[in-house]
Structure 1
Amino acid sequence: MIEPLFVELLVFCLIICVILLVKIKSGVDYNPNAAMLASIVGHAAVLNLIDCFCFIFYESDYPILNLFLNSAYFVTGLLLAYSWYRFAMSVLCKNLWKKKLVRSLSSIPLLVTLGLIVCSFWTGWLFGLDEDGQYCRGPYFFVQMAVCGFYLFVPCTIALTKSFMKRYYPDRSLNMAFSIIGVFPLIMIILQMYLLVGTPTISIGLTISVLIIYVNIQSQLISIDPLTGLNNRHHLGRFLDTKIHNIRKDRKLFLFMIDIDKFKDINENFGRLQGDIVLQIVASALKSVCGHLGHFIARYGADDFAVVAELDDFSDALYLRRNILMILTKNSEHLKFPLRLSIGYTLWNRSNDSIPNYISRAEKQLVADKRSKSMERAVT
């Protein structure tokens, strides 16, 4: 009764993968990352299907069929691990993954292992048939597992390292999710190899992993602004609701409201595409100044941004404001027009404050900053 149960579990996992694949393919924002995610889910679906056939035809009168099914399982599992590696690296190390040399070097273990799989039909290096005509592992079977482990372990290590670095604090939840997702299939591989031999632990574990990936990405889309990659207004409210109860006793919580001066004129005179570039420049400047310090950054509105920072006093708040303006000036030197920001900030009152009042005060300070600059320009 065990094998029919395994087949049912694998069919259930296959259905989950197919549903996820349809969801991803039919998504409005089907970008290169979504295509790589679709590749992961597609390979997981094929792996479940092959594993299902392996159980059904385990005692087949045609041993060569079992051999071909297992070889197909090896190839699909390897391609799945590599697809995950590509996807994770493109998210975690975007600039590094753009380099052709890095992508080429990363594909070498894949190509070598594929060559070993093909040769195994004659040499038995990774797999073969024993004297009774049954499938058995070859002397270099560990190479397949080691390469798959490498493709899973490297992104997992990078994500785990980043999750403890202040510089990447805004992406901590995403990095933690990637590190957990990478570890889970490794555990399943070890279990199937040594403790649960003959069970579909790997296939089931991988299905759970792709489901976690999909749910995590959907969660990120809900709280992340797609244009700038920053948190959105909804996430700001949730963050403040949690943060105001966890302020360090020796620190003060400041809210900065930031607005792009004459953004409407930029859109009208230079086009909305240029306006989008401006928004990305501002977001990049905020990440550069505030990201490594662990401050929370969000896109609050069309051309409005918000920063939540735990600081020592108002002098630190003033320094942060100056630093943002300085970096923005440097990053926007190539533009054909001056790019300026108005910034207002306020302090959270621990005794009798509320989030609406907190935001309202910061917005009033922002308006005051705009007015003071208008008056300065009028005088000059």
Structure 2
Amino acid sequence: MVLEKVGFENIIRKKSAVLMLFTPVIIITVLSFMSPFNYALFKFNLFGEPSPSRFSFVLYYFVVLYASVGFLACLYNFMRYSRTLQAKEILFLGIFTLFIGVSQYYSAYSNNNLYTCVYLLSLVMYYIALHEDKVFIDPLTGLNNRNRFRRYLSYIMSSQSLRVNMYLTYIDIDNFKSINDNHGHLTGDLALRTVAEAMREISVNSKNFLARIGGDEFVIVSSHPTQTDLKAMIVRMKKCLNEKAKSNFSDFTVDFSVGTTQLNIPYSSISDVIKSADRNMYRQKQMKKQGLISDSGAVRK
């Protein structure tokens, strides 16, 4: 859960990673079932209480291993996203992961009930996290939704230093209504997920904030040294989307229009930058319909 929350979901979906993560659980389970017969992991004293046995150190080792992996993953992404809103959430999750590991190790070593209390607290925190996902995550695409987007943008706009070299890219799928009308809403949903996958793929090694804020409307908040780098990101996304659309759809293509705006505009508000990006996107969409620019965004001569 920790690895998924801090952005390592692509890694833990691999079979090799899943096997590595669950191998300690399998080993401890086997040792537990063996213990009543040969006291492998624990044995019972005269009072019927479990006490450490010859392989108890394996349990302590795996507790430290799990806690360390979770904490280091949080620490890595905290340093990576140090100037973003996610940093606070990642730091809290890392500290809580470390707290769970320490309490479990202490409880196993000294045979007390501290871990039981911490475990119940962790279940409550996990339950809250699940409900937070319902509030802030779009269920169809798995991207952030409008609520989290406005919260994130408000955080960026609140600091002059954070806004430097930051851009808002507004994305609208071209002819999405005709996709729904001619091919059905299930195909339309697949088109939305395809766009979301392309957005994720170009943002794997970056700090881009991705969100779906409407029916066929998406946004990317990203940092670029120059507008040339911003345009290069859009070109990569169009290329990625084209490749994914070809494999998912045989009788139509999926394209989008974009509008961009810089966040570091003096005296601008959240509404101002959203309207600016929306106007630029609508302008490009109209120019496409008039044949003034190509689907790639290049001006026709």
The question of a shared fold, defined as TM-score above 0.5 by the shorter chain, is answered with: yes
Query: Is 2:85–2:155's contact at 8 Å kept on the other side of the alignment?
Result: no
Match of 1:179 among 84, 94, 101: 94
Report the CA distance shift for 1:242/1:269 in structure 2 as closer, same or farther (over 3 A): same
- Greater shift, 202-211 or 96-105, is seen at 96-105
- 1:140 paired with 2:52, answer no
Structure 1 segment 344-359 matched on structure 2, within 5 A: 344-348=259-263, 350-359=265-274
Rate the CA distance shift 1:156–1:272 in 2: closer, same or farther, 3 A. farther
How far apart are 1:155 and its partner, in Å?
A: 4.1
- Could you say if the C-alpha distance between residues 317 and 93 of structure 1 is closer, same or farther in structure 2, counting changes exceeding 3 Å? closer
- When normalised by structure 1's length, the TM-score is 0.66
1:264 matches 2:190: no
Please say if residues 247 and 310 of structure 1, whose CA atoms lie closer than 8 Å, have aligned partners that are also in contact: no
- Deviation of 1:344 (Å): 1.1
- 1:170 & 1:303 partners in 2: Cα distance? 25
Aligned match for 1:321, one of 234, 245, 250: 234
Q: Which residue type is aligned with residue 205 of structure 1?
A: V
| AA matched with 2:278 | E
The correspondence for 1:219, drawn from 123, 132, 154, is 132
Correspondence for 2:297: none
Structure 1 residues 322, 221: CA separation in 2 closer, same or farther (over 3 Å shift)?
same
User: Are 1:342 and 1:366, in contact at CA under 8 Å, matched by a contact in 2?
Assistant: yes
CA distance in 2, matches of 1:96, 1:107: 14
Shift of 1:108: 4.1
Q: Which has the larger radius of gyration?
A: 1
Matches within 5 A, 1:118-267: 118-130=33-45, 135-165=50-80, 176=91, 178-193=93-108, 197=110, 199-248=112-161, 251-267=164-180
Q: CA deviation at 1:104?
A: 4.7
CA RMSD of aligned residues (A): 3.3
Amino acid of the residue matched to residue 252 of structure 1? N
The structure-2 alpha-carbon separation of the partners of 1:141 and 1:342, relative to structure 1 and needing over 3 Å to count, comes to same
Shift of 1:289: 2.3
Post-superposition offset of 1:103 = 4.2
Mark the CA change 1:190 to 1:274 in structure 2 (over 3 Å): closer, same or farther. same
Moved more, 99-108 or 324-333: 99-108
Alignment of 1:104-123 (within 5 A): 104=19, 106-123=21-38
| Deviation by residue 1:72-113 (Cα, 9 ceiling, x = unmatched) | xxxxxxxxxxxxxxx556766545544555545554433433
| Structure 2: gaps of 5 or more residues | 295-299
Deviation track 1:348-376 (CA, whole Å, cap 9, x = no partner) reads 36332222122112111111101100010
User: Cα distance, 1:220 vs. partner?
Assistant: 2.6
Distance 1:116 1:198 in 2: 18
1:363 aligns with 2:278: yes
Contact kept? 1:160, 1:179, Cα under 8 Å: yes
* More helix as a share of residues: 1
Q: Deviations over 1:156-183 (max 9, x none)?
A: 44444344446xx897666555534432
The 2-side partners of 1:273 and 1:118 are apart by 48
Structure 1 distance, partners of 2:151, 2:215, is: 19
Gaps of 5+ in 1: 1-86
Which amino acid in 1 is paired with 2:267?
N
